[in-house]
């Protein structure tokens, strides 16, 4: 997995062939996981330029659980997608563990995504004709040092649903399969874009408990985008985006267990 000692192995073997250390940062594990400096993203659509990110300076540290809030269109998904190598910034710098991610080729980004990042989206994107176990196995079959699908599904409390198809699972259960799929490769980073956006509160809680457990037990840096401000209390740190900028960053002295959140 992409953590500490193993980080070196994973990165050196699979990512750094094409990732260059920044000149002033010797790529040590003590670096923040991500460092963004002046990160900007402008989408050109027809005549129109849309500034989605406008000079974001931010760091994300190992093992943190970060909640990202902000109005629709403020750039939350854009930031998450750039962190996870799904999109590239227009300007500015982004480093992962001291390695420059900004100007790398698609092959390197693919390796980075495959080895280091798990994604969870609002809609679960499971393959309907595969069981929960098979959906997770698709990923574990191409990962280095993965968990077994059974271990991953146990972590999200779905040990008794492994042979169910998505259509035989509730929304919350499907999302937990998606989480198991995301973390089965033991990524250093878990990026969740509105993971409870399509769920009612009770179901959302079971999903967030799975995320919380993974963050706590695996030490996975976890970033969760939400429109639900009450989720802020479960985080180590809460970031507010507005108009493509981080306008507020605060740290919670204590994290509230998901069950105790005031919905
Ligand atoms: N691929 C794209 N092409 C053009 N414009 C885009 C693209 N992706 C995002 N945008 C624009 O960039 C801005 C930021 O979008 P983004 O999806 O990051 O917002 P968001 O904070 O995630 O919003 P929401 O809460 O609605 O999901 C928006 O104005 C959006 O229209
Ligand atoms: Mg979004």
Is the four-CA dihedral 79, 84, 89, 91 of positive or negative sign?
A: positive
What digits encode the pLDDT tens for the residues 95-126? 999 888 998 888 888 889 988 999 999 999 99
Characterize the bridge pairing of strands 99-100 and 91-96: antiparallel
Probe residue for ligand 1, chosen from 42, 75, 195, 226 as the CB with the greatest number of ligand atoms within 8 Å = 75
Residue 15 binned pLDDT confidence (cut-offs 50, 70, 90) = low
* Structural domains of the chain, with CATH: 62-89+102-254 (3.40.50.300)
Share of the chain above pLDDT 70, in %: 89
Nearest to 194 by CA among 113, 120, 93: 120
pLDDT exceeds cutoff 50 at 68: yes
Q: Is 185 near ligand 1, meaning CB less than 6 Å away?
A: no
Rounded to two decimals, the pTM is 0.90
C-alpha span between 94 and 35 (Å, rounded):
6
Bridge partners (DSSP) of residue 42 are: 51
Atom of ligand 1 minimally distant from the CA of 78: 18
What digits encode the pLDDT tens for the residues 126-163? 999 999 999 999 999 888 889 999 999 999 999 999 99
Is the four-CA dihedral 123, 216, 148, 210 of positive or negative sign?
A: negative
Q: Is 50 near ligand 1, meaning CB less than 6 Å away?
A: yes
SS (H, E, C) the chain: CCCHHHHHHHHHHHHCCCCCECCCCCCCCCCCCEEEEEEEEEEEECCEEEEEEEEEEEEECCCCEEEEECCCCCCHHHHHHHHCCCCCCCEEEEEECCEECCCCCHHHHHHHHHHHEEEECCCCCCCCCCCHHHHHHHHHCCCCCCCCHHHHHHHCCCCCCCCCCHHHCCHHHHHHHHHHHHHCCCCCEEEEECCCCCCCHHHHHHHHHHHHHHHHHHCCEEEEECCCHHHHHHCCEEEEEECCEEEEEEECCCCCCHHHCCC
Q: What is the reported pLDDT for 21?
A: 53
* More confident call, 244 vs 6: 244
Probe residue for ligand 1, chosen from 39, 41, 42, 43 as the CB with the greatest number of ligand atoms within 8 Å = 43
Q: Is 45 near ligand 1, meaning CB less than 6 Å away?
A: yes
Degrees, nearest 5: CA angle 55-83-118: 160
Cα 9 to middle of ligand 2, angstroms: 33
């Amino acid at each position: 997995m992409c953590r500490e000692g193993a980080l070196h192995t994973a990165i050196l073997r699979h990512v750094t062939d094409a990732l260059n250390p920044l000149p002033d940062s010797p790529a040590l594990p003590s670096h923040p996981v991500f460092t963004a400096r002046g990160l900007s993203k402008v989408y050109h659509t027809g005549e129109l330029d849309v500034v989605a990110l406008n000079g974001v300076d931010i760091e994300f540290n190992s093992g943190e659980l970060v909640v990202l809030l902000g109005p629709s269109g403020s750039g939350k998904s854009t930031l998450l997608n750039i962190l996870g190598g799904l999109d590239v910034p227009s300007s500015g710098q982004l480093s992962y563990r001291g390695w420059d991610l900004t100007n790398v080729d698609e092959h390197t980004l693919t390796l980075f995504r495959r080895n280091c990042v798990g994604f969870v989206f609002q809609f679960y994107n499971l393959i309907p004709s595969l069981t929960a176990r098979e959906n997770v196995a698709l990923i574990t079959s191409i990962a280095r040092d993965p968990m077994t699908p059974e271990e991953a599904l146990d972590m999200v409390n779905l040990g008794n649903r492994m042979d169910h198809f998505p259509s035989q699972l509730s929304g919350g259960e499907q999302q937990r399969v998606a989480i198991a799929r995301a973390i089965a490769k033991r990524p250093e980073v878990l990026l969740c874009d509105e993971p409870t956006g399509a769920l009612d509160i009770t179901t959302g809680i079971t999903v967030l408990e799975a995320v919380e457990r993974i963050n706590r037990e695996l030490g996975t840096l976890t970033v969760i985008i939400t429109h639900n401000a009450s989720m802020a209390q479960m985080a180590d740190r809460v970031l507010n985006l507005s108009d493509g900028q981080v306008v507020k960053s605060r740290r919670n002295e204590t994290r509230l267990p998901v069950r105790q959140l005031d919905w």
